[in-house]
Amino acid sequence: MSWAIFPYIGMISGALWTTGTFGAFKKWDDKVVNVLFFLGILLFGGFIAAMWMHLDRPPMRTLGETRLWYSLFIPLIGLLGYRRWKYFWLLAYACGMSVMFISINVMNPEAMNKALMPALRSVWFVPHVIVYLFAYAILSASSVVAIQGLIQPKKSLSLLKMGDHLVYVGTAFLTLGLLFGALWAKEAWGHYWTWDPKETWAFITWLAYMIYIHYRHFHPKKESAALWTLAIAFIVLLICWFGINYLPSAASSVHTYTS
Amino acid sequence: MENKKQKRKLWTGALGYAEAWVTVAGLWLIGAALQFMNGPFPDVAMMWPANIIAGSVLVAAIVLLYFFNRKKAWVKWLAGVPVAIVSLSFFGLLSVIMALTPQQAHLDPHWIMDLGWNQMTSSYPFILSYFFLLVSLGFATMKRCFPWRNKNWGFFANHAGLWIALWAAGFGAYDVQRLSMDLYTGQPEWRAYDAKGQIYELDLALELKAFIMEEYDPKLMMVHPKTGQIYDAAAQYFLTVENDSTAGNMMGFDIQVKRLMPAAAYVADASNARYEEVNQIGAAATVYAEVTKPNGEKVEGWVSAGSFAASPAWLMLDSTHTLAMAPPDPKRYASEVKIFRPEEETSEEALIEVNHPIKVGDWKIYQLSYDAEKGKWSNLSVVELVRDPWLWVVYIGVFMMIAGAVYLFTLNKDKVEPSKQA
């Protein structure tokens, strides 16, 4: 299984999710929406699994590979959120984001490289990356909630409660990812925390969500500031994930995903 | 909860965000002044036992001040959310500055160095913000834990866990020792050096028995013959040679591998110059390949990665394309060492591998690097010895936080309203 067939897989999965979203908008039977989303997730997940076997290593090394996992997780979270809160736009955003990340991958083809540097050959590699990307996907769903809240101020209170749930789970995963990273770093690099640029940004991201949780706890009625905090926290997260590769201070990071 | 009442008191007591921001501004100013006068905080000042004394004083101060003043407005303020948010923001702001400024001993322009931004973790403002965060988090933990209620375990795990981890990581940082040791095959070594090049004699010695390296399958690549530049690595211009019949297309050229030799040497036979499989130092991965050009023409020849002892071989295809082999990627590398500990009159053998450090006494020993030019024939292995007496305390905090993160999942029930205790 190689990148060569990825555009087709991405197109079919994207089409399934788009149709599912359309179905939710048109109020089709929920079963149909569920099945469409689930099929897309199954196909996409199958591609990642096949790629894992073909590469003989977890496909989590390059930025393109991390985008794969994100494109898988975000529709999954959109579907779970939709089943719970019944907001159609949650599906729409999830679908849109996934299709966007798939398109980025199609437009930036990567070489198939089986090599995995020795530092990444660790039992911590998979849990660290999976937990992080799951956190990223959930927290981007929370940022969608924030944007929706800023668009529809009248609904912002109920939206924020939804945002809280997503942030609690997302931050729990974020915390686990950070701590797993620290435990791994001790085994691989000799110290659990070296203020490597990626670590610093991961820490700042974590602080941003801490500020949101505490702000919500203390000011449950101040919606607009909470929504903005949530939106800004996600920008920090994006810097941590992608933006860091463009910062001069990050040139020495152990987290630069180049081949 | 009593939060509503507290809030009112706090506001009427006039201690809230404004005071918190004023405090932060004051701390930053004081920190900047200290920084300007003294330069970076001297690490030696906080080495054992100074750090355990200072750390214990901080713990005692928080506990005692809390118990004797818990009803006072300023303690409630320090334990409250506004100070938590402001102290997190202050620490976050300095972290953002650190993340945007290259962290190195010398940096232009000079005002960055005056402010200490180029060595943020040794700067006074950063240390003060760390201190403020510990105070805020410490008082908040005290407030929620006395009197103890079982339902607060999650809060306790999160807050006390973070406090312990931050406390031990911060105060303990001054006692962390990281030394490198250069091991040459067959030569016992007991000297190690730190980042500044200072040499230490240790109570243990290591001897490199063998340096082991496994490599990935060799990769063919396209190179511009004049500039020597590799064609974009991100696109599919690499061909991994797995066996004698690997085939593929690179930039319109059909490549058919006829023979793969993981270790070969050039035989300069006038009538039949060739590569042959050998088992000797410096033998490089080599293939014999047949290439069909886009115009149908065929070329064949040797392509070799070369090594520190042998030149590489390239196969010229046309004026802009040459087939070459990339230097092999290491898959794993490790050092077989013998450990001598004169005090215990023992010697034992061990394998030090990336991601698999070994423990000898107080030291953890890591595989760091090797002579990259010689690759798998390196007779030098650099290992790192790390000693961190505070590590176990940090780990207590870390595992409490892991438990606390699990607690965050249980918050995800609809009956928990954001206004209730989170």
Please tell me whether residues B262 and B378 are part of one structural domain.
no
**Count of C-beta atoms within a 10 Å radius of residue B345:** 7
Range of the domain at B254: 217-328
Q: With CB atoms and an 8 Å threshold, state whether A200 touches B391.
A: no
DSSP secondary structure letters along B278-295: --STT-EEEEEEEEE-TT
- Residues of chain B short of pLDDT 50, as ranges, are 1-6, 8-11, 415-422
Q: Is A113's pLDDT higher than 80?
A: no
The pLDDT value recorded for residue B133 is 98
- Centroid of chain to Cα A207: 18
Please tell me whether residues B376 and B396 are part of one structural domain.
no
The pLDDT value recorded for residue B233 is 55
The pLDDT value recorded for residue B129 is 98
Task: Give the whole-angstrom CA distance, residue B261 versus residue B24.
Answer: 66
Chain B residue at shortest CA distance from A246: B100
Q: With CB atoms and an 8 Å threshold, state whether B329 touches A117.
A: yes
Which chain B residues touch A108 with a CB distance below 8 Å? 234
**Count of C-beta atoms within a 10 Å radius of residue A12:** 15
Which chain B residues touch A179 with a CB distance below 8 Å? 398, 401-402, 405
Q: Which of residues B299, B328, B357 is at a domain's end?
A: B328
The pLDDT value recorded for residue B5 is 45
Please tell me whether residues B373 and B231 are part of one structural domain.
no
A246 touches chain B (CB under 8 A): no
Ranges of each domain in chain A: 3-250
Q: Does residue B284 lie in a domain region?
A: yes
Q: With CB atoms and an 8 Å threshold, state whether A119 touches B411.
A: no
B235 touches chain A (CB under 8 A): yes
Q: With CB atoms and an 8 Å threshold, state whether B99 touches A214.
A: no
- A interface test, pick of B236, B360, B364, B376 with most A CB neighbours within 10 Å: B236
Please tell me whether residues B245 and B291 are part of one structural domain.
yes
Please list the alpha-helical segments (H only) found in B102-240: 110-115, 124-145, 153-172
Q: CATH number of the domain at B359, please.
A: 2.60.98.10
Calculate mean pLDDT across residues A82-104: 91
Size of interface A-B (CB pairs under 8 A): 153
Task: Give the whole-angstrom CA distance, residue B184 versus residue A213.
Answer: 54
Please tell me whether residues B185 and B268 are part of one structural domain.
no
**Count of C-beta atoms within a 10 Å radius of residue A257:** 16
Q: Does residue B415 lie in a domain region?
A: no
Using DSSP, state whether A30 is helix, strand or coil. helix
Contact A186, A176 (CB under 8 A): no
Calculate mean pLDDT across residues A42-57: 94
Q: Measure in Å the smallest separation between the Cα of B343 and chain A Cα atoms.
A: 25
Contact A240, A198 (CB under 8 A): yes
Please tell me whether residues B170 and B262 are part of one structural domain.
no
Q: With CB atoms and an 8 Å threshold, state whether A3 touches B236.
A: yes
Q: Does residue B239 lie in a domain region?
A: yes
User: For residue range B370-391, what is the model confidence (pLDDT) as tens digits?
Assistant: 999 899 999 999 999 999 999 9
Please tell me whether residues B67 and B199 are part of one structural domain.
no
Please tell me whether residues B7 and B90 are part of one structural domain.
yes
Please tell me whether residues B335 and B311 are part of one structural domain.
no
Bridge partners of B214, per DSSP, are B332
Contact A123, B356 (CB under 8 A): no
Please tell me whether residues B266 and B135 are part of one structural domain.
no
Which chain A residues touch B88 with a CB distance below 8 Å? 207, 210-211, 214
- B interface test, pick of A56, A217, A219 with most B CB neighbours within 10 Å: A217
- Between residues A64 and B91, the one the model is more confident about: B91
Number of domains in chain B: 3
Contact A151, A130 (CB under 8 A): no
**Count of C-beta atoms within a 10 Å radius of residue B120:** 21
What pTM was estimated for this model as a whole? 0.90
Please tell me whether residues B192 and B281 are part of one structural domain.
no
A52 touches chain B (CB under 8 A): no
ipTM, two decimals: 0.91
Q: With CB atoms and an 8 Å threshold, state whether A172 touches B233.
A: no
User: For residue range A23-38, what is the model confidence (pLDDT) as tens digits?
Assistant: 999 999 999 999 999 9
Q: Is A111's pLDDT higher than 80?
A: no
Question: Between A111, A191, A211, which is nearest B233 by CB?
Answer: A111
Question: Between A113, A216, A247, which is nearest B418 by CB?
Answer: A216
Q: Does residue B417 lie in a domain region?
A: no
B216 touches chain A (CB under 8 A): yes
Question: Between B98, B238, B330, which is nearest A111 by CB?
Answer: B238
Contact A65, A114 (CB under 8 A): no
Instruction: Measure Cα distances from B106 to A252, B102, B114, B118 in Å.
Output: 16, 10, 11, 7
Calculate the average pLDDT of chain A.
91
B residues 316-335 lying closer than 8 A (beta carbon) to A: 329-333
Please tell me whether residues B182 and B198 are part of one structural domain.
yes
Say which DSSP state B273 is in: -
Q: Measure in Å the smallest separation between the Cα of A94 and chain B Cα atoms.
A: 20
Using DSSP, state whether B195 is helix, strand or coil. coil
- Centroid of chain to Cα A204: 17
The pLDDT value recorded for residue A117 is 87
Q: Is A159 left (phi over 0), alpha (psi -120 to 50) or beta?
A: alpha
Contact B406, A172 (CB under 8 A): yes
Task: Give the whole-angstrom CA distance, residue A91 versus residue A83.
Answer: 10
Q: With CB atoms and an 8 Å threshold, state whether B422 touches A216.
A: yes
Which chain A residues touch B421 with a CB distance below 8 Å? 217
Collect all residues with Cβ–Cβ distance below 8 Å to A16 and sequence separation of at least 6. A36, A37, A39, A40, A43
Task: Give the whole-angstrom CA distance, residue A101 versus residue A105.
Answer: 6
Collect all residues with Cβ–Cβ distance below 8 Å to B114 and sequence separation of at least 6. B35, B36
Instruction: Measure Cα distances from B192 to A203, B181, B336, B382 in Å.
Output: 32, 5, 18, 10
